[in-house]
Structure formats: C-alpha cells, structure tokens
Amino acid sequence: MPWTVEDNEMDAAQAVPRALTAPDVAARKGSGTPLVMVTAYDAPSARAVDGAGADMILVGDSVAMVVLGYDDTLHVTVDDMAHHTGAVARTKPRALVVADLPWMSYHLSRDDTVANAARLVRAGAQAVKLEGGRKRIDAVTAILDAEIPVMGHIGLTPQSVNRFGGYRVQGKTLDAAREIVDDAVALAEAGVFALVLECVPDAVARMVTDSIGVPTIGIGAGRHCDGQVLVYHDILGFEDRVMPKFVRRYAELGHDATSRIARFADDVRAGTFPASDETYHAADAVTEALGLYGSVEHASA
Ligand code: KIV
C-alpha cells in the first residue's frame, strides 16, 4: 500500500519513522517550523546529516568544490552525481534525497534532460534540483512529466558563475529583484515542490516567500524563507577556501583532523605505535618454533 501525506508517520512493519517525500516537504509551507536541508556526498556525511534530523539531504554539485577540489561546480558530470547520490541513498536516510543536475545535463534537449534526471533517480534520489528561472521552465516541465519531483534554484546560481563574473549577491536593484520574483512565480506555477534562493537580499527573499505556495529554502537569503540550507563542509569547518558571510561554523573539524593525524604521525615516528595490544601475536609455541622466542612479546603478555 503506498504511503500518502495523511498516512501514519511510522512504517508499521519496521516501526521506524517513514522517509520524507517531496509532497511532505511541499506541505510544510507555512507550517511555522522551518525546513532543514544540508548537503552530503557520501555515506558518512549522509548518516551524520540524517542522524541530526535534517528534512532533506542535498547531493549538491558543490561536491565539485568541497570534495573533488575543483574551483567551481562546472566540472562534475551526471556520472559523478550518480556516484555520490548512490553513496548517500544506500544509507537509507529518513530525509528526502535531492540530487543536483549538473551543468549541461538539462540544457541540450528534452530527452537528454529527462534521461539525466532519471539516472539520478535510479542512483537513489527522490527528487532533482536544477538552476535557473523562466528559461528553464521547459526542462522543469519535461522532468515533471516523467514523474520526477523538481526543486528550483534561483538568485546566485553557481553554474552561471562565468556569466555573473563571480559569486555575487543577486537581486540588488529593483529590476533584478522583480526578475527573481517573476522567476520564482513561474517555477512554482510549473510545479516545483520547493525553491532554493541563494544570495539575495532578505527583502527579496521575503517577497518571493510571500508570493509562492511552495517552500523557499534560503542560503545567504536571510530568515524570511521557509527553510535553510548549508553545505556540510562549511558547517563543520572542512572548507577553508571560501567563507561567505552567511556561513555559520559549528566546528573546525578540518583543523581537528590535521592535528589528530599529526599525533598519529608523531606516535609512528616515536615508535609508540603500534603498542602490544594493537598487535596480533602468535601462540608462544609458534613464536618459539619460528626461532624468535625471547626476542618478541608473547601472546599471553
Ligand atoms: O550544490 C549545492 O551545495 C547547492 C547549495 C548551495 C544549495 O546547490
């Protein structure tokens, strides 16, 4: 029996909270409790995000920058995104798994767009996200026609970095703000279930949030959104190259990792790693037969 939004919150057979769906997320508009989305790109990060109770895991194309070491998001392919989406999905999170369609995967033709979205669904995503406003409505409609939920993304769209000339706040003039609101309305009318608003002034985000019937998820868009998203590596302090003002750091795990690994290196060089209890020992008789008895530690030691 398929679940619906009205069904029980628990999967009765397994007594575990059921996984969130795109309609569940859409229904949270105006609920008063902001939606939480965090990126993840592999099984450990997905388990951490889901264990923290996030509503959505975004397998973002930011993987290009924070995991794969590229300077922008333009270098990842559908193959890359499917690879990382699979790793996240195999953890079977309760959170909705949304995967980014990478640059040039929804720009060429309707068939190509739908096939690429389907690859991400087969890899384990329950929804896909794509960047752009009115000029991407055909792509949104094609994917929705294939029964795949779509999340929109407007404002600062990182796949447009070369056209924008850098990562800049969008919607600062009245005309630019109106363009963003019009894009948001068009995407909502086309049927997106939620919309990411990146790096826009809070007044613009408020206008968008008040103008559409699906949740807005902000990143650098202030508090007048229906939810917030941040990148895993930014929250935890794994990413040092760029530190936008909208990032709040909750840990410095990058530095912690370096200092812990330096301690391991010190122990190896000092000869204190591995210790006896970190070592497999043969039985005394075996050691003796090997002619080593007395020169190595004993199993019983
Ligand atoms: O790829 C990503 O991480 C994103 C977020 C910044 C929304 O698209």
Active site residues: 198
pLDDT digits (tens, 9 = 90+) for 48-62: 999 999 999 999 999
Summary mean pLDDT of the chain: 93
Residue 61 beta carbon below 6 angstroms from any ligand 1 atom? yes
CA neighbours within 13 Å on the CB side: how many for 125?
30
pLDDT digits (tens, 9 = 90+) for 179-208: 999 999 999 999 999 999 999 999 999 999
- The alpha carbon of 295 and the centre of ligand 1 are apart by a number of angstroms equal to 58
H helix or E strand, kind and range, residue 56: strand 56-59
Region 78-83: mean pLDDT is 98
The answer for residues whose C-beta is within 8 angstroms of residue 124's C-beta and 6 or more apart is 85, 86, 88, 89, 90, 97, 99
pTM above 0.95, yes or no: no
Give the pair of three-digit tokens for residue 184.
């948001």
Percentage of the chain modeled with pLDDT above 90: 86
Compute CA distances 263 → 6, 80, 259, whole Å.
53, 34, 6
Nearest CA to ligand 1 atom 1: 60
CA 176, CA 174: separation in Å to the nearest integer?
6
Residue 66 beta carbon below 6 angstroms from any ligand 1 atom? no
pLDDT confidence tier of residue 243, bands split at 50, 70 and 90? confident
Burial class (CB in 10 A: 0-12, 13-18, 19+), 26: middle
Whole-number pLDDT of residue 103? 98
Whole-number pLDDT of residue 301? 45
- The alpha carbon of 185 and the centre of ligand 1 are apart by a number of angstroms equal to 21
Using most ligand atoms within 8 A of CB, pick from 100, 161, 247 the residue to mutate for ligand 1.
100
